[in-house]
Amino acid sequence: MSMQSEEQQVWSVTQVMRAAKGRLEGLGRLMVLGEISGMKMSRGGHAFFKLRDDTNMLSCVMYAGQLNRSPVRPQDGNKVVLTGRFTCWMNRGEMQFVVDNVEFAGDGRLRMEVEQRIARLRAEGVINDRPGRSIPKLPERIALITSSTGEAPHDVITTLQRRFPLVQVQFFATNVQGDMAVEGMRRMLAYANSVTPAPDVILLVRGGGSFEDRMPFNDEGLARDIAASRIPVVTGIGHKPDRHIADMVSDLACATPTAAAEAVTEYTGSMLAEYLTSTATQMEMRLENRLSSTARKVESIASRPLFTDSYYLTGEYLQSVDVLDGRLERALPGSLARNSQMLQSETLRLRQCGSSLVSRAALMLSNAQTSFMREGKALTSARERELGIAAAKLDALSPLKTLTRGYSITYSEDGHVVESASQVASGDDISVRVKDGTLSCTVTAVQKED
């Protein structure tokens, strides 16, 4: 037996690399979990990075086409699930995992979903840069929306009572994590906006917890309700450095429930006393300044001639009246004398010409009367003759004239003239008119003549 036959087959480097590449690519598409590190971007837009776990690492590449279509932009520190296939870079003798899809692992998936929600709410204008509603400095009533268990309600109520004992706390208990949390918080938020008496501010709080536990505070419906609330909303979701969608739409976002309670009780008992004292002092000073200023104005107005001299407004008018009175007194006698002379002169002229005017009028009236009588008789005599002839004719044609000769007129019961025996029947009431009266009769029989 030869020496070569006893030895194993010798492979070239190329043969080995081809075999390794074939075996690797034969694994097909795989999903690999790990953390990204060493991210580098080529000038062509391709991403080169390592995927590592606690003990090993894997060289990966995501080409520009896949990277641009991916909703997730891989970055150092991201815990991800990569989908792709193995290959071998034969020239350099390196194994690579070619990535065609990347997804966040664990919280990463949820964080990506939250970012998408934030983008939608920004596009709608629910999340914006406008300042929130002002938080009252001295609230009388505070609505607390949180779980009835845990430390959050105890911490908030203790802080409120310590800092501002006068405040009334309206507690609206609900789940703040789990499937029913979103519905419960939205219902309590609506109730707090409708309750009477209404609270001055609403605290929406919870303690710490995992990102998944705090996901209800990233709900879009809850965010819209907070933004639409007519009462200011302060959030205190106990976790740093995460910021939730509820924080972004609230009027004030605090890091913890206790911090939220402190934020709405800016004035503690001692601070309130100092504030009231300072306010009273300022009000007193302002009132004194206002009274002094008003007194000076009154004195200035009272010293004006309008109020010190009773003739300031009427003096000139009184003098004018005196001047006009003198003129009238001097002018009146002369005017009366002239008017009297004119009246006497006109009376004399009227007497002289009045008699002649009356005589001429009487003569004209007498002449007119004579002419009227003469013309009137001529006009009426012809009409009198015509009227006499017409009256004679009318009298001759009158049915009443016929009655004087022994005739009569018969009327039916309805007042019509009876011209034929067929117009009445036995038993009918009729009226018979004679020359000097009317006879009421009843028909006993009807006899018709041919």
233-254 confidence digits (pLDDT tens) = 999 997 666 778 999 999 999 9
Q: Is the pLDDT of residue 343 over 70?
A: yes
Q: Are 127 and 244 in contact (CB under 8 A)?
A: no
Backbone angles phi, psi at 202, to 5 degrees: -115, 130
Dihedral over Cα of 146, 152, 157, 162: its sign: negative
* Confidence tier at 4 by pLDDT (50, 70, 90): very low
pLDDT of 207: 85
pLDDT over 70 percentage in the chain = 90
77 Rama sector, left if φ>0, alpha if ψ -120 to 50, beta otherwise: left
What is the chain's mean pLDDT, rounded?
84
Q: Are 143 and 172 in contact (CB under 8 A)?
A: yes
pLDDT of 448: 79
* CA separation for the pair 257, 208 (Å, rounded): 10
Q: Is the pLDDT of residue 188 over 80?
A: yes
pLDDT of 6: 52
102 forms beta bridges with 82
* CA separation for the pair 171, 191 (Å, rounded): 11
Q: Concatenated DSSP letters for 371-385? A: HHHHHHHHHHHHHHH
Q: Are 167 and 155 in contact (CB under 8 A)?
A: no
